[in-house]
Structure 1
Amino acid sequence: GASPLSSIKHAGSPWELGLTEVHRVLMNNRLRDRVVLRVDGGIKTGWDVVMAALMGAEEYGFGSIAMIAEGCIMARICHTNNCPVGVASQKEELRKRFTGIPEHVVNFFFFIAEEARSLMARLGYRSLNEIIGRADLLKVRESVSLTKTQSLNLDCLTQLPDTRDDRSWLNHEPVHSNGYVLDDELLSDSEIQAAIQSQSSVSKTVQVVNTDRTIGARLAGAIAKQYGNNGFGGHITLNVEGAVGQSFGAFNLPGVTLNLEGEANDYVGKGMHGGEIIIKPYAAATYNPAENVIVGNTCLYGATGGVLLANGQAGERFAVRNSSAKAVVEGAGDHCCEYMTGGVVVVLGKTGRNVGAGMTGGLAYFLDEDGSFPAKVNPEIVKIQRVITPAGEQQLKELIETHADRTGSQKAKTILANWSEYLPKFWQAVPPSEKDAPEASTDTAASKVPASAQ
């Protein structure tokens, strides 16, 4: 879709090669019954489905072709926020151009199924299950007139283990349950249930380990089911201690505060819509939090609201596709604020390369103590400037004050105590959609800060 042309044409390998190799190895090691093979990557027709089935696939993924069915014209500018038909844009005027409806996609797949059915009928079979892994039905075309393919040996695609008689490997064991998870315990707690029902307040403390994943997601789901995304009038506070697994605070909602003392894996705050996620190191930690990673990669992915405050550094792709959330961290890896469309991000430390790639909305502030930041910015869309408006300074300072108050960050306190010294060291990343925002606009003299602070 939006990948660089070099990736589309030259990265990866044909699905036929990967599928047949995996199917062969699993069959030879008597492990095929333990896996369901799904193939994708250029699957477009019923013919592709039948070919994939003969080579061992049981499930088939459709990507670009399904988007085309609902109106995509493959303009290949998804990353610019300027999709001409509104499929991949957050701009209201462009989204109004989107004419696709679910029925278009459904109808397309009906035709895919009909083509696959007719091909199977010509082969003499009634269902896909009957032909999965039947590579003996594949034959190499002999009437090939294209010189560059005449010498190809396709035995790797056609010489697969014989599955005509023994089809038992298609009988997979039932998918295992994840068992009892922490959110089950939270939702079964009578005080939390009472707080949800009566929209009152409650605070709980829980111990976690890194196999406790997606903490808070089911809690948010239970609240949303009853009150919607913004209707909950109570307040639930979870004080979490330990090293938590992936997706901590995913889909968090207003009225829910997650306080973590420890560290978190990837995807913190994924899809969060509101509330607060506050992360700080163990109380007994002897290291400098500002110089150590405390949350993993891809935090705030697709967030539409809420606040994330982390007393430490974040991994790569921090705030990728962030739409409205606010965040303060003390350092970040590569691709910070990638594809961001809204919200505010403050980084009180060093970042990696490619900052702001595809960033079309929102504002970001970066503390640059060694002068290396400008070289790390992707300049295709965003421009950087110093914090030159009172509104921008106020926005930045208030977020840092909140960060210091919630996390106890020593670095934030140092910055606030020496504000006139640190303010000139901040860069503000401004995409075109925010150039006239009061926090970034320099159109009027009244909006400018004194020259000494620039």
Structure 2
Amino acid sequence: VSRFSTGAMSYGSISQEAHETLAIAMNRLGGRSNTGEGGEDPERAAPTSDGLDRRSKIRQIASGRFGVSIEYLSAADDIQIKMAQGAKPGEGGQLPGEKVYPWIAKTRNSTPGVGLISPPPHHDIYSIEDLAQLIYDLKSANPRARVHVKLVSEVGVGTVAAGVVKAHADVVLISGGDGGTGAAPLNSLKHAGGPWEIGLAETVQTLVLNGLRDRVVVQVDGQLKTGRDVIVAALLGAEEYGFATAPLVVSGCIMMRVCHLDTCPVGIATQNPELRTKFTGKPEFVETFFQYIAQEVREYLAQLGLRSLDEAIGRADLLKSINTPEALRLGLDRLTYFQEDTARRFRKESTQDILADSLNQRIVADIEPRLSKTVTIRLRYPITNTDRAVGATLGDLVTRRFSAAPLAPDSIALTFDGSAGQSFGAFAPFGVTMKLHGDANDYVGKGLSGARLVIAPDMHVGVVAENTVVTGNVALYGAIRGELFVLGRAGERFAVRNSGATAVVEGVGDHGCEYMTGGVVVILGSIGRNFAAGMSGGLAFIWDPSGQTSARVNQEMVDLDPLDDEQFALVKDLLERHARYTGSSKAASILAMQERWQRSFVCVYPKDLKRVVLQERAHRHQGSRYSVATTNRGY
């Protein structure tokens, strides 16, 4: 049973009661439950007073990066990168505003009542090398966890899986096109994705033929329901097995296929408090189901003359295809290809320790003996572009040590000299300040979780900060909270999917603030094309004395407004801090203009956020308390 897991069911798509029921059952059995996309309530990390373990051991990392903080990662046994979904490959997800209740918004670091979009791609993955970097980032953020990569069953998946293994993933998951909830579009359910059997067979055969099979665990999901399904998956080469629809049915799902409407009549695929009371599932139901599955697996193994599931893994020669003309035309014999001289059909060796001898390890070794609530730590290091994800492992250490009460600001102050590699300051937590004298590569502040990052190169005579690129693409991707001050320009997709971090930068490339849902960004220079595309939350303030900004802003979801008094005070405070931390002459010159500069800033204000804010103000003015939970989809 320890080989079984529940498939990804996000907190937001199904109710907390259903989510916790699955987690409790799988933890009791020794299996694993999967958070899906959307984070998880931190209160579930610790067992209840009666000993119930409600924690989902598998934490998913999807393109939206909702709720992906250092706390979320540090509490994981397994971390799963969702490259695509079996039921809708190539498509992102969308949570309608009426399902974004306050508790969902809190977990996803967004605004109640404002819809959330998961982009189709991961914006930090455009090649197999980028995927390897994300795997490295996640291993740095939690060295104890296995890292999965979820792939869709389709033609060519074996080649991709081989790349995943070479990128040092611990688990590769093949997801079949028959899985997925009722929230998947009908055209995807009917016409996209392939059977898990085909993708699994191609993956295992490719790994075996290239001598890679023993370096990775192969997992499969996509409408597995019976012990026979598990046996077929094992014979085709899978070691672990994911179930999603079947445990939900056991918990009470009646397959109404209205998951996206928030009207689930049995309280599973809904956040409506009234409907959630109708949920009748219990952990015991799920436990009994999996115990029966395990018993059926034992019976099939006995019929095959095998003593353990390990003996069945990869024995495709025990599968016989139907010998009919139709079956022969389908070429089913290719699924059962078996190489007799293959000694290793499943993972038998540990993967290479890719974190050894890294700058992260040196930092942790220096800080761990001195780490306490009362000692302030100041350290300085040289840094090069081969030093990646610097700060992530320190974040794991600080989070595990002080999860109940974060450190005070600047408790740990690290200064670096040189050119930082990718993911500088990724997932860095409260209490940590990292200042870089130099420049940084892509993904600065990815998943930032409370730290302050300052990048300030030495500006020589004749070098203008707003014309000098000092940090690469995709900074602050999925940042939860914290601060970033950059003396110079950033590359493309600055603050993409920012959920709550504050940043000041002196210019950005194309697609700035894309899909942003929270936080504040101040830009003291020019912006690239398509600024604010998909931006549904947070605020961006752009220095625009020439009035040219509007032509570069994607105004489908945002308005361009002048600064009000409250926003003026906010921007002024950030300019003062930017000047103090980085020595920015641009910030100082703007502040020297006194209040006259207020008219030269434009506020990029998401329309949905403005609507919710105005509704809340109107309700407060009338003396009532505005709450998404008490409205009936009235947006």
User: Which residue number corresponds to residue 346 of structure 2?
Assistant: 170
Contact 2:314–2:345 (Cα < 8 Å) also in 1? no
Seen in structure 2, the aligned counterparts of structure 1 residues 285 and 223 have a Cα distance that, compared at 3 Å, is farther
Alpha-carbon displacement from aligned partner over 1:11-47 (angstroms, at most 9, x marks no partner): 6655544443343334334x13543253456354345
* Residue in 2 that maps onto 1:204: 379
Equivalent residue in structure 1 for 2:321, among 130, 140, 159: 140
Larger Rg: 1
Structure 1 residue 363, shift from structure 2 partner: 2.3
Supply the RMSD in Å over aligned alpha carbons.
Answer: 4.6
TM-score (norm 2): 0.55
1:448 counterpart residue number: none
For residues 549 and 190 of structure 2, the distance between their equivalents in structure 1, rounded to whole angstroms, comes to: 34
Residue 237 of structure 1 corresponds to which residue in structure 2?
A: 413
Q: Which residue pairs with 1:451 in the alignment?
A: none
Q: Which residue of 1 aligns with 2:239?
A: 58
Identity among equivalent positions (%) equals 34
Query: 2-side partners of 1:251 and 1:401: how far apart?
Result: 26
Are 2:479 and 1:311 aligned?
no
Q: Match for residue 35 of structure 1? A: 215
Q: Which residue of 2 aligns with 1:218?
A: 393
Distance 1:389 1:39 in 2: 54
**Preserved CA contact (<8 Å) 1:332 1:347:** no
CA distance 1:287–1:25, shift in 2 (3 Å): farther
Partner of 1:387: 562
Q: 1:77 to 1:358 in 2, by over 3 A?
A: farther
Query: Does the 8 Å CA contact 1:293/1:314 hold for their aligned counterparts?
Result: yes
CA contact (8 A) 1:229 1:253 kept: no
Q: 1:265 to 1:106 in 2, by over 3 A?
A: farther
Match of 1:355 in 2: 532
Q: Distance in 1 between matches of 2:435 and 2:365?
A: 20
Residues 208, 396 of structure 1: alpha-carbon distance in 2 compared, 3 angstrom cutoff? same
User: Offset of 1:331 from its aligned partner?
Assistant: 1.0
User: Does the CA contact (< 8 Å) of 2:220 and 2:233 recur in 1?
Assistant: no
CA distance in 1, matches of 2:535, 2:263: 13
The alpha-carbon deviation at position 150 of structure 1 amounts to 8.6
Q: Structure 2: which 5+ runs fail to align?
A: 1-84, 86-91, 94-119, 121-184, 620-635
Q: Residues 105-127 of structure 1, C-alpha deviation per residue, up to 9 Å, x if partnerless?
A: 96365565455445444444343
- For 2:427 and 2:305, how far apart are their aligned partners in 1? 49
State the SS of the aligned residue for 1:405: helix
Letter in 2 for 1:278: V
How far the C-alpha of 1:257 sits from its partner, in A, is 0.7
1:275 aligns with 2:434: no
CA displacement 1:88-140 (0-9 Å, x = unmatched):
98xx9799889799948963655654554454444443433222222222333
2 CA distance for matches of 1:284 and 1:100? 68
| SS of corresponding position for 1:274 | strand
Query: Counterpart amino acid of 2:452?
Result: E
Quote the residue 1:128 is aligned against. 309
State the Cα deviation string for residues 290-315 of structure 1 (Å, max 9, x = none): 34544445443443321112234445
| 1:346 matches 2:522 | yes
Name the residue aligned to 2:508. Answer: 331
In structure 2, C-alpha distance between the alignment counterparts of 1:87 and 1:241, rounded to whole Å: 50
The aligned runs of 1:63-102 (5 Å cut-off) are: none
Residues paired across the two proteins, number:
425
Task: Give the alignment's TM-score, normalised by structure 1.
Answer: 0.73
Structure 2 counterpart of 1:45: 225
The match for 1:20 is 201
Tell me the residue number matched to 1:257.
Answer: 433
Per the TM alignment, residue 161 of structure 1 is displaced from its structure 2 partner at its CA by 3.3
Change (3 A) 1:270 1:199: farther
Do the aligned partners of 1:337 and 1:356 also contact (CA within 8 Å) in 2? yes
Q: Deviations over 1:230-285 (max 9, x none)?
A: 44246221011223234322332332210012333444333333231111335569
| Whole-angstrom distance in 2 between the partners of 1:362 and 1:113 | 48
Contact 2:376 2:412 in 1 (8 A): yes
Instruction: Note the alpha carbon deviations across 1:417-440, whole angstroms, 9 max, x for none.
Output: 5674674452322253454659x9
Which residue is 1:403 aligned to? 578
The answer for the alignment partner of 1:446 in structure 2 is none
Q: By how many angstroms is 1:391 displaced?
A: 0.8
In the aligned structure 1, how far is the partner of 2:328 from the partner of 2:421?
A: 52
1:429 counterpart SS class: strand
Specify which structure has the bigger relative contact order, considering alpha-carbon pairs within 8 angstroms and separated by 6 or more residues.
2
